[in-house]
Structure 1
């Protein structure tokens, strides 16, 4: 099965998610490993939840000051998004394993030379996107530590973005607080980027499989003739067998896309809903900072990360949709005259099956498309303009 190339695109992300305390070990692991890893998963959710509660308390105690509320609100919303996705991973591990088993299966790993470049490209892009996204997020968290530390060294008072039971402007309390915040934000950023890239590249793997199916469909006549020359089977038998395999392949792709939407659709929907508010709150805080400061750079980096997070879902969902539309074009490119009359019915049945394109959505409501990304950005600007106008 050509080294399970379909699964290799997500294998590193699975390892990262398990190491980060997001996704449980598979049931084939030793029982004592599963036991301790489960404790680790539950502890981590509690660790994140405590930090989120501290943010809620900070917002509550600062509710009369809009600027202080905005300093915490965008981080609070991001944390809730991360926790939501983590809960999905921990509450539906069997269904996620089903998807991973599909990627390991023979239908997605046919081992043909013409399929390999597409699968290898997907593997390379999956790691590239994760590294870029992850490094940007961790660098942003680092800048959030640098800015208050410089102010503290200069003797200037700082405002913590979370509620703390002590004065963070005193030593050594400050360094305890800043290390705690840095660990929380960096761990959340690392886990969040891994979850986002994992989900989006499940969609991208579906798109890759549609591209592979297009190649098989366009070359079905030629490949059948080549196989007939090398075997004793008849041309009609070979052609019929290949049509049946393509129908099964397409069914598996559609089922995988449906499972992805069913498992992660709610989390993606929540992310889209709060995405506009996060961008709005971030922009509101950014315009009140000095453009030459570390804080301003950190906010710019954070906004880019949030835009990238939303864009990944919209872009790869959009690519899957349009690649599935092209599948119909590939069916029309088949050499009909070389197909026996009794087998043309198989092609007609297949064309009926692919007539409806794969359209991934968030929560079965919002389509994952480039137009959705533009709409979210526009909405966030509208929220921001409303907040700015309400200040005057």
Structure 2
């Protein structure tokens, strides 16, 4: 029986965000605070300069790509704003996960959490690498492509041909650092959200198995026990399940309260970026490096959308399965008190847990299919 520690499973994300000075802390040094504000200032400055260039509308392809970068960097700034204002809530989520009722399970139940964490870590790394890889490609593409001598990774509101090499290098470094910070921030922040949602789904799966095992395994001894003693024993175990169910409900409610607006921004930005990249791909020759870079950006944005919708959908499915676990258990071998407890759990499970984007749409596969259909229709037409 091991103890789950949220900080250990978020070690990679926390380290990267601390390196950028953006991980929420109860108390931080002046140097750490300066580092965080510098990160946000660079990303915000990059957003402003790119917007200024996009408003000039020099070229359709260039403007479309600039808008993609603007959406990515702008929603990164918004995410940091949410992270700053919800700092106490984020730290509280970690504290909730570290409580014994959610962090300590029997070995046969702990397997479900371990598997979910491995899957979560895989997708965290996959998305982080795809996001950072996209950023690196954006930065180095002027060196790989046959562009003018003083080209930049992202359109900039200044004619580089009329500037000195020092100015060109300075702007290139500024954009390069800002792009890498933006993509790394997106990967870390989304990895953090995905972790919280994935753990909630794992806890619901553990609760489901715990309810089934509580009755099915103990019912084998019912022939050798008095009915009253047997019911008391089962009911005491089920009361622990009820407490765990309440703890999971509070945890999921905290996720919803903390990240509801962030979910909405995430869905809107992912959809807009996907549409803009789809439009940009039409304008770019297939054999060019720009096409490969935009394709990678499209994959990263699509992966982001799929991860959140799939994770939110699993929470709904797992919460619905708790009701089935109660009904499919051997409740016929139990007395009125046990049946009453099971009935209470089933009644609560009739209203499954759902994560919503600020109350507008739910994070579900239905939302993903709807968004995908709208994108395909707009792309084809």
TM-score calculated relative to the size of structure 2: 0.90
> Partner of 2:125 in structure 1?
131
> Partner of 2:15 in structure 1?
15
Q: Does 2:253 match 1:269? A: no
Unpaired runs of 5+ in structure 1? Answer: 387-392
Cα distance in 2, alignment partners of residues 235 and 320 from structure 1: 33
Q: Does 2:160 match 1:180? A: no
Cα distance in 1, alignment partners of residues 262 and 114 from structure 2: 29
Deviations 1:230-261 (A, max 9, x none): xxx94333322211111111111122112111
Is contact 1:107–1:249 with CA below 8 Å preserved after alignment? Answer: yes
Among candidates 86, 99, 114, match of residue 92 of structure 1: 86
> Partner of 2:151 in structure 1?
158
Cα distance in 1, alignment partners of residues 14 and 301 from structure 2: 22
Q: Does 2:41 match 1:46? A: yes
> Partner of 2:309 in structure 1?
314
> Partner of 2:196 in structure 1?
202
Deviations 1:108-139 (A, max 9, x none): 12330112211111221222112111111222
> Partner of 1:278 in structure 2?
273
Please say which of residues 157-166 and 13-22 is displaced more in the overlay: 157-166
Among candidates 320, 338, 341, match of residue 333 of structure 2: 338
Unpaired runs of 5+ in structure 2? Answer: none
> Partner of 2:24 in structure 1?
24
Cα distance in 2, alignment partners of residues 20 and 235 from structure 1: 57
Cα distance in 2, alignment partners of residues 248 and 162 from structure 1: 56
Decide whether aligned partners of structure 1 residues 292 and 65 sit closer, same or farther in structure 2, where only a CA change above 3 A counts. closer
Is contact 1:272–1:310 with CA below 8 Å preserved after alignment? Answer: yes
TM-score calculated relative to the size of structure 1: 0.87
> Partner of 1:390 in structure 2?
none
Decide whether aligned partners of structure 1 residues 3 and 49 sit closer, same or farther in structure 2, where only a CA change above 3 A counts. same
Offset of residue 382 of structure 1: 4.6
Decide whether aligned partners of structure 1 residues 222 and 258 sit closer, same or farther in structure 2, where only a CA change above 3 A counts. same
Corresponding residue SS for 2:165: coil
Is contact 2:138–2:153 with CA below 8 Å preserved after alignment? Answer: no
Cα distance in 2, alignment partners of residues 290 and 115 from structure 1: 52
Cα distance in 2, alignment partners of residues 208 and 160 from structure 1: 41
Is contact 2:260–2:358 with CA below 8 Å preserved after alignment? Answer: yes
> Partner of 1:37 in structure 2?
32
Corresponding residue SS for 2:3: helix
Please say which of residues 161-170 and 124-133 is displaced more in the overlay: 161-170
